Structure 1
Amino acid sequence: MNLKAIHYATGEPVSICMEQGVIKSIEPVKSENRDTSELAIVAPGLVDLQINGYAGHDFNQVPYPDKMVGEVIRKLWQEGVTSCFPTVITNSDQAIQEALESIALACRQDPVADHGIAGIHLEGPFISPNDGARGAHNCDYVRPPNWELFNRWQEASGGRIRIITLSPEWPNSAQFISKCTENGVTVSIGHTSATPEQIAEAVEAGARMSTHLGNGAHLMMPRHPNYIWEQLAQDRLWSCVIADGFHLPDQVLKVVFKVKGAQAMLVSDAVSLSGLPAGTYTSHIGGSVVLTPEGKLHLADNENLLAGSAQMLLRGIEHVTNRNLAELADAWDMASVRTSRFMKLPTAAGLTPGAPADLVLFRREGSRIRLERTFKSGKQVFLREET
């Protein structure tokens, strides 16, 4: 298959040849006497490191409906997401195990799920028990790191747990982090009340990422030092942020982007209500919640308290570009090439010959990004139908 489009990073027209699931070649298109205004923009498929659910489907409510996992992956193609890390959060030992087993079973039975899931993100239960830092995670199930328990979960997942979010405030956290690192599991610091010294020790032990930095944090904390400043200052930590316009003010996003540079990444952290119409819903975590037409998800009795993220990566890219916090190419890379590079995925190569042909075509329409087509391994898996 051959595509002609505008390269998202260079702005130049290119011809992309895809063969047997990979990009065979990318050649410039001579534009003399040729109108390129009708061409869409081509970019790498998006890679979401943290997603709890989508379109009414929840990775944290067990048992899963039949074929749910593959259905989520298919729906994510409509959002340009070609690879993701389903996120299982703090819950009972048995519920976590059941969720992991269900994802593993789906990957064995459904090629769509297998190819779309790059790994599982286990967010908890080894996080801070403190209010504020714990976020919406159930305090009843928060516990200190347990290597034997983690190994049991990893076995249940078929070895698919690739990221674990924890707080290094627990005793012996460094030893647990070292074991995870030695076994190829990326350790991310999040939902933490750790001291700067504990964070530094965690980084030395192998922690390499910050989970939704600036969220899952106390409303008030010491001016300095504190765990946000320390994570920003740790050169070996990559920072994930939710850039939906509700979770972090622009000033914070700007500082993270400037400090972290090529180590800044976007995640959706979307919950199951993402992709649904505006309205009032009942959440198993937040109770009665409201999804506004603007895309903000908040508790029904307090609009100032968020009930999770209901926006996808495209919304984050729109926000940071519309607010002049990043250029389009840089913002897109934060949600695709950088996340792939960080997790050492083949898609880290982006738009280069030999890379997997996970691509999207889109157009800018004012402040919005309109996705038109999605390709997974060279196969068109989404085509927007004109109304």
Structure 2
Amino acid sequence: MVTASRERILRALRAVAEARERSPLVARTVVGVHVEGPYLAAADGPRGAHDARHLRDPDPDELAGWLAAAPGLVRIVTLAPERPGSADYIRAATRAGVVVAVGHTDASPEQIREAARAGAGLSTHLGNGTHAVLPRHPNHIWAQLAEDALTATFIADGHHLPADAFVAMVRAKGTGRAVLVSDSVALAGCPPGEYRTPVGGSVTVEPSGTLRLTGTSLLAGSGRSLLDCVRWAVRETPFTLAEVWEMASTAPARALGLTGRGVIEVGARADLCVAEQQGAAEGQLRLVSTLVCGEA
């Protein structure tokens, strides 16, 4: 979920909670919600495609309302730690079992370190959600790479990060603290053209599949699936399929504290993607089937 009014976020959380209650399949597959915003930097660049009208400072009372509306559902909240009250919010969220992620930020290195000391555990799509031009050093990307308390998520779709930046960042973090995320949105797979969406307003799908806020260079989510990201990372970087697959499965489960997921072992949940290799080049994968709790 992204930045919106207080009422809209609450409605969305309740809708997901109700869907999980109605459907055992939804309950097994939707392990939680990532609320990305509304406590983000307001400047163009760090704000990304988030609606500036609804950006605000972190509010522990609002968090309490989310937790009451959808008990156990809020797993991640992304915030910009330069916002007033961030440290207190991070401590409150961490006590409630919510993982706080740093993202869409223009924070100083000290503010990044303060967020980590308060309990922040993730970086949201590191290398994106920031200004197009940053000081050589110091800047918040170096600070997040250097902070061992932060596991970093990356959008490996070939549009959000060039291969060399992705490789350098993952090597800085180590594959065990690097997580692949798709950032896939509703326009993923749509033909090139201009579209109207609830998030971002006018969005252009380029022939390459890149999504941008119309008339700007700002990205508006991704048009690729997580399996596409795995394919790209294996094809374009030195990382092996085993390393990339870990970043897309085991590492995210570990970052969220999910036991029995992201592993293949006796007693674990059989949540599996079955893919087959096509051709001689590693990473040419075709999805064959998906199993949830051992059921196709």
TM over 0.5: yes
1:110 aligns with 2:17: no
Aligned: 1:203 with 2:116:
yes
The aligned runs of 1:75-224 (5 Å cut-off) are: 88-224=1-137
Residue 327 of structure 1 aligns to which amino acid in structure 2?
A: T
- Of 274, 279, 285, 2:188 maps to 274
Is the contact between residue 243 and residue 266 of structure 1 (CA under 8 Å) also seen in structure 2?
yes
Aligned position for 2:201: 287
Task: Quote the Cα distance in structure 2 between the aligned partners of 1:298 and 1:90.
Answer: 18
- Give percent identity, aligned residues only: 42
- 1:308-328 alpha-carbon deviations (Å, 9 max, x no partner): 211111111111100133100
Question: Which structure 1 residue ranges, 5 or more long, are not aligned?
Answer: 1-87, 381-387
Aligned: 1:374 with 2:284? no
Map 1:267-346 onto structure 2 (within 5 A).
267-292=181-206, 294-302=208-216, 304-346=217-259
More helix by share: 2
Indicate conservation of the 8 Å contact 1:208/1:237, yes or no: yes
Which residue, 165, 170, 177 being the options, matches 1:252?
A: 165
Is contact 2:163–2:237 with CA below 8 Å preserved after alignment?
Answer: no
Q: Which residue of 2 aligns with 1:362?
A: 275
Deviation at 1:288? 3.6
State the shift of 1:346 in Å.
2.7
Give secondary structure in 2 for the equivalent of 1:379: coil
| Matched AA of 2:234 | T
Partner residue of 1:18?
none
Kept in 2, the 8 Å contact 1:196–1:227? The answer is yes
Measure the CA separation in 2 of the matches of 1:290 and 1:297. Answer: 6
Question: How far did 1:112 drift?
Answer: 1.4
Residues 337 and 347 in structure 1, CA contact (< 8 A), matched pair in contact too: no
Separation (CA, whole Å) in 2 of partners of 1:349 and 1:369: 19
Runs of 4+ residues over 6 Å off in structure 1: none
**Counterpart-to-counterpart distance in 2, 1:177 and 1:300:** 34
Deviates more, 1:358-367 or 1:226-235: 358-367
State whether residues 282 and 289 of structure 1, in contact with CA within 8 Å, keep that contact through their aligned partners in structure 2.
yes
Partners of 1:338 and 1:348 within 8 A in 2:
no
Q: 1:144 to 1:351 in 2, by over 3 A?
A: same
SS at match of 2:10: helix
Larger mean CA deviation between 117-126 and 363-372 belongs to 363-372
Give the superposed CA RMSD: 1.6
* Structure 2 runs not aligned, ≥5 long: none
Which has the larger share of strand? 1
